[in-house]
Amino acid sequence: MSQVVKISALLISSALLMFAGGMHGLILPVRGAEEGFSLLALGLIGTGWSIGFMAGSISVPMLVKRVGHIRAYAVMAAVASMTILVNLLVIDDWAWIFMRIFSGFCFAGAAMVVESWLNEVSDNESRGTTFSIYVSITLFASTAGQMAISVTGVAGYIPFVLAALAYTCAVLPTAVTRTPQPAPLQSASLDIGLLFKTSPIAVVAAFSVGMANGAFGTLAPVYGIERGFSTATVAYLMSLAIVAGALSQIPLGRLSDKIDRRKVLVGVALIGATAGLLTIIINPGETVLLYALFGMYGLAAYSLYAIAVAHANDFAKEGDFSKIASGMLLVLGAGQMMGPIAASIIMGFMGPVAIFVVPVIFHGALAAAAFIRMQIRDAAPVDDRAPFQPLPTERAVTAETVSLDPRSEPDEFTLPDEDQPAPEGQQ
């Protein structure tokens, strides 16, 4: 409890940021579909977010180094607030795509700043507790943001203004915090050779999850609107998927601590593929079955990435966890950029329910790849595995999330000074 009080301002700031992000992420596809935007344009809105998020994960540490954490965070939150207000003022598909790049960039930057603060105030004994609290709050706040849409709807100005207010209010707790300025932020980097050498299936999993969840997170709301579901129903369905994934992470993760994690990956990926396939075949209306299928899909889809990260960590050499997890983030982001485009094209040919074609294909491919790897490489001994650690949803994981993760070595990987050469392996 004392640790919670110590970081309460940072947690409140993070909760407001995630609440705004949850609202913003659901407003755009639903309102865009109601405004008659093309499926390709709606898919590109999701792609724009991923482009901005990846760019922020790479470049925001440089900005923070120049102006400091508080100023950088204020800029990120202010620009994010501006983007959603521009979305309200300019109802145009290409304007929304362009502004979504900025909102993804700012969201990544703001999240990284808060996470770096949390990492600064956490010692080795409290990092696990801090990380667990942070993951819980981000999941709760993001879901609350989506659920708020069930009350406000997406018509008119109220949902846009409410999300903008949440972005703006997120600045206040950090502006008055007495917590010392953290160390320089960690920048995401990709060492594809190290990734494949450590765990080829982790690379396949990161890309597959990015493709599947990038398509689902962006265009599943459009599927609901095209089917004639109410905005409230769409919000309930999307929130159910996230909550199911959050609740399933710990039991599935603990199971993967005891058996070959690839067996868990195969089983969970097949559950996700089955849920998507059943939705395509049955295409249910607004019934209990529809909610069950969305919950079943979320249970699988939003737990796969955390298991894949744990599997990669089992084979990582000491001190390599941050590099591997950071690289997986960029592979994940590449999938999240392409998934919405692929799904929008398929939906144009096959109809709204074809949103699930991409998840079915890539979850099936992940299950097949994991099964093949089981025939090639033995599982890591149980005694050598680090305990599973839940993660936030993929859209909220940054390089600083990796640094805060208790499996990461403190000060393992930081941004070098401009006047000093980078340490070996970080150049």
Q: How far is CA 69 from the centre of its chain?
A: 22
Residue 306 lies in a domain: yes
Give the CA angle between residues 208, 196, 260 to the nearest 5°: 70
**Do residues 277 and 360 touch, judged by C-beta distance below 8 A?**
yes
pLDDT value for 386? 77
**pLDDT by residue, tens only, the chain of 427 residues:** 555 566 777 888 889 999 999 999 999 999 999 999 999 999 999 999 999 998 988 888 888 888 877 888 888 999 999 999 999 999 999 999 999 999 999 998 888 888 887 777 766 666 777 888 888 888 999 999 999 999 999 999 999 999 999 999 988 877 776 666 666 666 666 667 778 888 889 889 999 999 999 999 999 999 999 999 999 999 999 999 999 998 999 899 999 888 889 999 999 999 999 999 999 999 999 999 999 999 999 999 999 999 998 888 888 777 677 788 878 888 999 999 999 999 999 999 999 999 999 999 999 999 999 999 999 888 777 777 778 888 888 787 877 777 777 777 654 444 434 444 444 333 3
Two tokens, residue 385: 């595995």
Strands (E), 87-145: none
pLDDT value for 237? 96
Q: Within this chain, do residues 241 and 164 fall inside the same structural domain, yes or no?
A: no
Q: Within this chain, do residues 167 and 224 fall inside the same structural domain, yes or no?
A: no
Q: Within this chain, do residues 199 and 345 fall inside the same structural domain, yes or no?
A: yes
Cα–Cα distance measured from residue 328 to residue 359, given in angstroms and rounded to the nearest whole number: 19
Q: Within this chain, do residues 51 and 99 fall inside the same structural domain, yes or no?
A: yes
Q: Within this chain, do residues 72 and 164 fall inside the same structural domain, yes or no?
A: yes
Name the percent of the chain in helix, strand, coil, to the closest 5. 80, 0, 20
Q: Within this chain, do residues 62 and 202 fall inside the same structural domain, yes or no?
A: no
3 state SS of 24: helix
Instruction: Give the number of other Cβ atoms within 10 Å of residue 251's Cβ.
Output: 11
Amino acid in position 92: D
What burial class does residue 112 get, using C-beta atoms within 10 Å of its C-beta: 0-12 exposed, 13-18 middle, 19+ buried?
Answer: buried
Q: Within this chain, do residues 240 and 387 fall inside the same structural domain, yes or no?
A: yes
3 state SS of 393: coil
pLDDT value for 177? 64
pLDDT value for 149? 94
Instruction: Count structural domains, the chain.
Output: 2
Residue 412 lies in a domain: no
The CATH code of the domain that includes 161 is: 1.20.1250.20
Q: Within this chain, do residues 54 and 201 fall inside the same structural domain, yes or no?
A: no
Q: How far is CA 49 from the centre of its chain?
A: 11
Q: Within this chain, do residues 85 and 205 fall inside the same structural domain, yes or no?
A: no
Write down the pTM of the prediction.
Answer: 0.88
Q: Domain containing 30: what range?
A: 7-175
- Domain termination site, one of 175, 200, 230: 175
pLDDT value for 368? 96
Residue 401 lies in a domain: no
**Residue in this structure with the two tokens 């755009």, named with its chain if needed:** 28
- Domain termination site, one of 148, 175, 202: 175
